[in-house]
Structure 1
Amino acid sequence: MLSRVANSLYWMVRYIERADSLSRLIEVNGQLLLDHERLDSERLRAFWKPIILSTGDETLFSEFYSDASSSEVIRFLTNDRRNPNSIVASIGQARENARMVRDQLSEELWEELNSLYLFINSREGELLFNADPTRYYETIRRATFTFHGIAAASIARSESWEFMDLGRHLERADKITRFLDITSFLPESDAPVNGAATFHWTAILRSCGGLGAFRAEHRGEPTAEGVVSFLMFSPGFPRSVRFCVDRIDRNLHSISGTPRGTYTNDAERVAGRLLAELAYGSAAEVLEHGLHLYLDELQERLNEIGTELFQTYVLLPDSTDKRPPIPAANMSAVVAWQMAQQQQ
């Protein structure tokens, strides 16, 4: 497979997953505020600012906004086109990547992605966002579910599928860590790690569709240790970090054709090592280490997998001396890929 095609398929699905995760991330704070209807403006800012801090976009946000109010944070993450990681920008970049590899996609998959793109850029979408934000985000989430369902039903299990599945689970693992990290930026008096405010953990579970699955495995109310254990180390929940890294490891070995438990490139080495650590890790160790510190280190490991994947399958360093220089027309795509990596 051409590295350009693999790159586009990988980022197409990562951007779709990013749009879905941001919709959920915004709703996390909505859930957190359900029990805080009488908060003053200062306390409201203290609850919305963690959203920006958890995404890592605080520097860019401060360039355009002076106050982390609910309306400004929601606008920045949803449809502010100056933010390359906003929902609207992510869907736009997903469609652009899909357009470049349409011959690799089914007609149904392209139509679904194009319909979502047209919706977020339509007058109807703008009116729905202003009148009923909950339905707006629900529409985006349902469209992303449909996209993944069509992809699973219509894409042959070839290298194309492996790169798409790899992008989805790498993005998902990163965003789950950011869901959990929101609690690290809450006001100290409301931080659930330091107190017994179970509604924080319930909201986080709800935001990733895991509340029902969590209750099926655990008795009692969600606690810090229980939720961290479930979202970090569950081998069966499809949004846990361990599950996602396991799929990443499978995808990487399917692409290279090497058996699992061995490695032929640094992407496989980093993913395999991380999977082993997650397989034998525990929530108690994470909380003792410090939740924010652990999640920050984990995000760096996930970024390292993405970087090594880029080095192995896009830049192809082992063959650079045998191949002619990259034409200028293709160089822009590589630079765009690197910029997207840095935004992570």
Structure 2
Amino acid sequence: MGQAKGFNVAVVGATGAVGQQMIQTLENRNFPIAKLTLLSSARSAGKTVTYKGEEITIQEAKPESFEGIDIALFSAGGSVSLELAPEAAKRGAICVDNTSAFRMDPNVPLVVPEVNEADLHQHNGIIANPNCSTIQMVVALEPVRQKYGLNKVIVSTYQAVSGSGAVAIEELAEQTKAIVNGENFEPKILPVKSDKKHYQIAFNAIPQIDKFQDNGFTYEEMKMINETKKIMHLPELSVAATCVRIPVATGHSESVYFEIDQPGVNASEIKALLENAPGVVLQDDPSEQVYPMPADCVGKNDVFVGRIRNDLDNEKGFHMWVVSDNLLKGAAWNSVQIAESLIKLGLVK
């Protein structure tokens, strides 16, 4: 089990949509694993998952499950992370947490490797993976910030239902069938399972993701606002978000308006910058109707950017369209990428 052989890795929430993608991503990346431990709630324990042709039995996640684990990837809900990540860290594991539990904790780095990989040096055993819609936006904005400065961001999102889990994908499919066949249906999941009312998602757009706060913004919108400032180390950055759920299974889209510090920059310079940016694929040729779409980004790790143009009234303002697979770059791939960065930086014992 020496270092050359790899690391002992645990995935918590192994049966969920993101947990499944994490396992798949570890396999696709040929991540250096000596032993893979799959953990979940008691009700999923005993199920098996195939990793590199080998059947692995899922065990119930308990504090002692993390003895001897080097890296633990968490995606089993905030309450599980709050309970078990500190226990795992106490036992020497470095936790990469995909819930919102620790994101705004000042002692926990919130990391997108293309943007703020160096923050990993500050970890105290727990690293937070940002919200899916925040991740793809900051990957597209960071190269712009580095070269031209950034002082304002206004984003409207077009988010896929898989962000609410497999049950939401099922609900979208069932409602679509019901409407096409003229049958009745009763919404039960979206916009928020635990909220008072539920609305149709098929052939509809719901301007609510997560619950509303007293300021009129939803939690999802506040996550994008606060996380962007933290990841970019720009507490004074002006950010506003409107988050909308649309009837797409996988792949979040975003319309992003941003203002830079430097005058006299044109859209072609921003395009050239993003064409060579890490983790970004530029798809931007209006004359040929080339632009990113969620249907084309499923199963891909990158962030796709297009429709880059100067604002017509503000010379420092620009618009762009950003699309990414919310289960991959928005969750599983960013988590595994953080783990790869930890190894690269020599932070895993």
| TM-score, normalised with respect to structure 2 | 0.33
| Structure with larger RCO (C-alpha < 8 A, sep 6+) | 1
Higher helix share: 1
Higher strand share: 2
| TM-score, normalised with respect to structure 1 | 0.33
